[in-house]
């Protein structure tokens, strides 16, 4: 749908990223996204919604690739 400039909607929404989140190169995080603690965004991943689960691996198009991942030293 094409809108005239007088019909412009609010184009801003916060991005919330939890603690200990790893974001790989060429990832995109769009407005309104929420990523919970201890999560990983894969190389080239796309996040455009809220993920309220921690310990997940997210790939392209909001796809959850794996749950229950662990961080080790």
Residues 12-50 pLDDT 10s: 899 999 999 999 999 999 999 999 998 999 999 999 999
What is d(CA 44, CA 50) in angstroms, rounded to the nearest whole number?
Answer: 18
What is d(CA 19, CA 70) in angstroms, rounded to the nearest whole number?
Answer: 14
- Strand 56-58 to strand 64-67: parallel, antiparallel, or no bridges (unpaired)? antiparallel
What is d(CA 39, CA 21) in angstroms, rounded to the nearest whole number?
Answer: 5
pLDDT at site 5: 67
Give the mean model confidence (pLDDT) for residues 39-64: 91
């Amino acid at each position: 749908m094409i809108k005239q400039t007088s019909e412009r909607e609010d184009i801003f929404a916060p991005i919330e990223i939890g603690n200990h989140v790893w974001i790989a190169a060429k990832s995109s995080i769009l407005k309104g996204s929420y990523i919970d603690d201890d999560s990983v965004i894969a190389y080239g991943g796309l996040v455009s919604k809220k993920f309220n689960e921690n310990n997940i691996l997210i790939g392209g198009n909001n796809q959850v690739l794996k749950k229950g991942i662990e961080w080790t030293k």
